[in-house]
Amino acid sequence: MKRVIALFTIAFVFAGLAVFQYKNDDSKSVTMAAPAEGFKPKAGFEATAFKLPALDEKSYEVGGKQGKLSFVNFWASWCGPCELEAPDLQRLHEQYGDAIQLIGVNATKYDKERAARDFVNEHEFTFPILMDRVGDVTKQYKVDTFPTTFLIDSEGVIRERINGVIPYEEWERLIEKWM
């Protein structure tokens, strides 16, 4: 009998925690500008600006007129192709870090934050990693394949949308083309 009472108590505590987490959903962790009329997350359309917290909780703004090319990569720690692409991203940051804004966006709603932090540490990323905890940015940019990368020019226009992994040399070509 004591065992049944203990199990019910534990289940009640977990249910309470689930309700608490649901009620305290951090919808304020993402700030998005109103999308441009007819926004489509593909080449030729103006990128909707957004602001997300990074792993260090510092906020970064992406999109809009940034003054230089932005390389925005959506990824998840469980994604095999993201694992393959990770060394190239760090290498691109080291090569072009002053000339472009390279940003990683972890689709945290579909990932585990601890796993994402481990992934970043394992690959020794030195560029900002933003956490899309609510999933609004991932949803608005219609990212359903990981990795997905957007090259956004200095005027805030999406120039390339790349779904999946491409060779390092192709990244170099695209960056040089739009820089």
Domains, the chain: 27-178 (3.40.30.10)
* pLDDT score at 40: 73
Residue 57 has pLDDT above 70, yes or no: yes
Reported confidence tier of residue 39, pLDDT bands at 50, 70, 90: low
Residue 83 has pLDDT above 80, yes or no: yes
User: pTM of the full predicted structure?
Assistant: 0.79
Scored b (16 or more CB within 10 A) or e, 64-85 reads: bebeebbbbbbbbbebeebbeb
Per-residue pLDDT tens over the stretch 108-167: 999 999 999 999 999 999 999 999 999 999 999 999 999 999 999 999 999 999 999 999
Q: Are the CB atoms for 75 and 102 separated by under 8 Å?
A: no
CA of 16: how far to CAs of 12, 13, 102, 131, in Å? 6, 5, 40, 26
Residue 3 has pLDDT above 80, yes or no: no
Cα–Cα distance measured from residue 139 to residue 160, given in angstroms and rounded to the nearest whole number:
18
Question: What average pLDDT does the chain have?
Answer: 86
Residue 56 has pLDDT above 70, yes or no: yes
* pLDDT score at 19: 45
Indicate the DSSP class of residue 66.
-
